[in-house]
């Protein structure tokens, strides 16, 4: 009887380990590092070239020395880009971007790539910046 219990216990532990490793691998794949574009703001506009995006990567982190917070720029389509501030609206902590959304490691708030809250404790959406496409670039208006 003891051998049977040991066998079941070991089998369950092995199954949970395999399932847990698969879930962890899936989570880590969504946390791959995002490209970072460092750009200057001229008259409140940051210019990000189209070449910052690839077929497989539709997200770029935009960093500017004049801004306190990074911006995540998302290619929605060839004619639409969205830019949101990477500052949690719960308690102003920095956010981490993944391919599916933004995450606050301080208290667990999550946001979709449009800046909408998908999990509390944050209650307000992220600050959005207007974007404009011209001259093979995306212009982010940091004064909006």
Determine the pLDDT at residue 129: 97
What is the reported pLDDT for 56? Answer: 87
Quote the distance between the C-alpha of residue 47 and its chain's center.
Answer: 20
The pLDDT score that the predictor gives to residue 4 is 57
The pLDDT of residue 19 is 41
Whether 17 shows a pLDDT value over 60: the answer reads no
Q: How confident is the model at residue 113 (pLDDT cuts 50, 70, 90)?
A: very high
pLDDT band at 94 (very low <50, low <70, confident <90, very high): very high
| Residue of higher predicted confidence among 128 and 16 | 128
The distance from CA 36 to its chain's CA centroid, rounded to whole angstroms, is 12
Residue 139: pLDDT over 70: yes
Burial of 6 (0-12, 13-18, 19+ CB in 10 A): exposed
Neighbours of 122 (CB within 10 A): 21
**Closest alpha carbon to 129 in 144, 139, 117:** 144
The confidence score (pLDDT) of residue 31 equals 53
**Comparison of pLDDT for 13 and 136, the residue scoring more:** 136
Question: For the chain, how many residues are written?
Answer: 144
Rg, Å, the chain Cα set: 20
């Amino acid at each position: 009887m003891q051998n049977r219990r040991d066998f079941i216990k070991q089998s369950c532990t092995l199954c949970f380990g395999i399932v847990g490793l698969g879930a962890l691998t899936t989570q880590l794949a969504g946390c791959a590092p995002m490209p970072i574009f460092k750009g200057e703001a001229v008259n409140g506009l940051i210019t990000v070239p189209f070449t910052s995006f690839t077929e497989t990567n539709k997200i770029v982190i935009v960093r500017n020395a004049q801004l306190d917070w990074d911006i995540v720029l998302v290619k929605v389509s060839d004619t639409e880009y969205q830019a949101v501030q990477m500052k949690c609206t719960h308690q102003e902590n920095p956010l981490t971007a993944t391919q599916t959304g933004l995450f606050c490691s301080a208290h667990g708030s999550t946001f979709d790539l449009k800046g909408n809250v998908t999990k509390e404790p944050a209650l307000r959406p992220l600050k959005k910046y207007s974007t404009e496409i011209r001259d093979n670039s995306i212009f982010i208006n940091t004064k909006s």
